[in-house]
């Protein structure tokens, strides 16, 4: 991410200066996206550093979810930038200003090379890290945006058709929106403690219920503290006379071996017969 930050900082200066000199909204839109990339990478690096810190006795899980929050902020920022670009592009469609096509093409090619290099560097990282994935999607959308800039400048050079510049800007904004959908949805799922992607909670309940001696599973919850750190809590009812410690160990092995869930909290309960249930029922009130 540090290497990608240096590349994007250089691309930001080139796109901003080039957009002003050529009058291209497509270049300025790309510069806005690169600016969000620079902010995203800085935020991601800070979140990664903070996530490695111990939370002490108050934050027993540490600061690991700061990476999830950073990914969500990045996604929301992308949506805001896309909306601003679309509004500016629509306003330009009625009377597109003159754009210097040669300069747009040259800067677009430079940006494409830089964004492609940054994307390649980021793709070599750990893809299960939602924080890194957010930055990677920023960078990949930038590379596609650079392609749109090159196409826009080429059309202006070949035909002089000026509306292509705001249309290319809208295309870039659409790419930004598409890349931001996952960045908003996945962090929200983690923060709402939804079941991790690819994990079927009903199948887990059936699998635990198939362990010898287990009669029932209830209060089953599966969530992610952060992507790659799944947790499970459940009440497991075992048959009367069964070894609850043995059943717990078998359930833990099943969850770790079949589903990759190592952080578990299991409350083992012994099955009660009907007479015991009647004894603990509160007496009915007479009117």
User: pLDDT tens digits for 97-129?
Assistant: 667 777 778 877 887 888 788 888 888 766 566
Identify the top-confidence range among 20-34, 165-179, 201-215.
201-215
CATH code, domain carrying 235: 3.30.70.1350
Burial class (CB in 10 A: 0-12, 13-18, 19+), 72: buried
User: Are residues 20 and 119 located together in one domain of the fold?
Assistant: yes
User: Are residues 32 and 152 located together in one domain of the fold?
Assistant: yes
CATH code, domain carrying 81: 1.20.1510.10
What average pLDDT does the chain have? 80
Enumerate long-range contacts of 160-166, CB under 8 Å, 24 or more apart. Answer: 162/96, 162/97, 162/98, 162/99, 163/93, 163/96, 165/24, 165/25, 165/26, 165/92, 165/96, 165/99, 165/104, 166/25, 166/26, 166/88, 166/89, 166/90, 166/92, 166/93, 166/96
User: Are residues 46 and 115 located together in one domain of the fold?
Assistant: yes
Q: Which residue, 197, 211, 198, 184, is CA-closest to 77?
A: 184
Cβ atoms of 239 and 209 within 8 Å: the answer is no
Establish if 31 belongs to a structural domain: yes
263's tokens: 């952080």
Residue 212 has pLDDT above 60, yes or no: yes
- Counting the structural domains of the chain, the total is 2
Residue 225 has pLDDT above 60, yes or no: yes
User: Are residues 161 and 58 located together in one domain of the fold?
Assistant: yes
Establish if 195 belongs to a structural domain: no
247 vs 244: CA distance, rounded Å: 5
User: Are residues 211 and 258 located together in one domain of the fold?
Assistant: yes
Provide the pLDDT for residue 268.
93
Provide the pLDDT for residue 280.
42
Phi-psi region of 241 (alpha: psi -120 to 50; beta: other; left: phi over 0): left
11 vs 281: CA distance, rounded Å: 71
- Residues 150-172: what's their mean pLDDT? 82
User: Are residues 186 and 213 located together in one domain of the fold?
Assistant: no
Q: Domain range for residue 71?
A: 2-190
Of 190, 222, 242, the residue that ends a domain is: 190
2 — pLDDT class (breaks 50, 70, 90): confident
Cβ atoms of 118 and 8 within 8 Å: the answer is yes
Provide the pLDDT for residue 69.
83
43 vs 40: CA distance, rounded Å: 5
Indicate the pTM of the whole model: 0.67
User: pLDDT tens digits for 61-72?
Assistant: 777 788 788 778
Provide the pLDDT for residue 211.
93
Provide the pLDDT for residue 278.
44
């Amino acid at each position: 991410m540090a290497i990608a930050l240096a590349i994007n900082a250089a691309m930001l200066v080139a796109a901003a200066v080039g957009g002003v000199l050529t009058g291209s909204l497509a270049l300025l839109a790309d510069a806005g996206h690169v600016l969000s990339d620079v902010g995203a990478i800085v935020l991601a690096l800070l979140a990664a550093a903070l996530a490695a810190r111990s939370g002490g006795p108050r934050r027993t899980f540490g600061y690991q979810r700061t990476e999830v929050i950073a990914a969500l902020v990045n996604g929301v920022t992308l949506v805001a930038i896309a909306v601003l670009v679309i509004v500016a592009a629509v306003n330009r469609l009625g009377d597109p200003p003159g754009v210097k096509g040669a300069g747009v093409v040259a800067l677009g090619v430079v940006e494409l090379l830089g964004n492609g290099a940054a994307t390649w560097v980021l793709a070599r990282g750990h893809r299960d890290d939602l924080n890194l994935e957010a930055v990677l999607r920023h960078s990949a959308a930038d590379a596609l945006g650079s392609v749109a800039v090159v196409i826009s400048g080429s059309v202006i050079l070949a035909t002089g058709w000026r509306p292509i510049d705001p249309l290319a800007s809208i295309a870039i904004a659409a790419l930004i929106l598409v890349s931001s959908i996952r960045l908003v949805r996945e962090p929200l799922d983690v923060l709402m403690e939804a079941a991790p992607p690819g994990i079927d909670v009903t199948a887990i309940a059936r699998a635990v219920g198939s362990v010898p001696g287990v009669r029932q599973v209830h209060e089953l919850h599966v969530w992610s503290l952060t992507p790659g750190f799944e947790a499970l809590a459940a009440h497991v009812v075992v048959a009367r006379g069964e070894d609850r410690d043995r059943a717990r160990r078998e359930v833990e092995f099943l969850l770790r071996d079949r589903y990759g869930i190592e952080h578990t909290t299991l409350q083992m309960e012994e099955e009660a017969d009907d007479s015991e249930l009647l004894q603990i029922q509160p007496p009915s009130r007479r009117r």
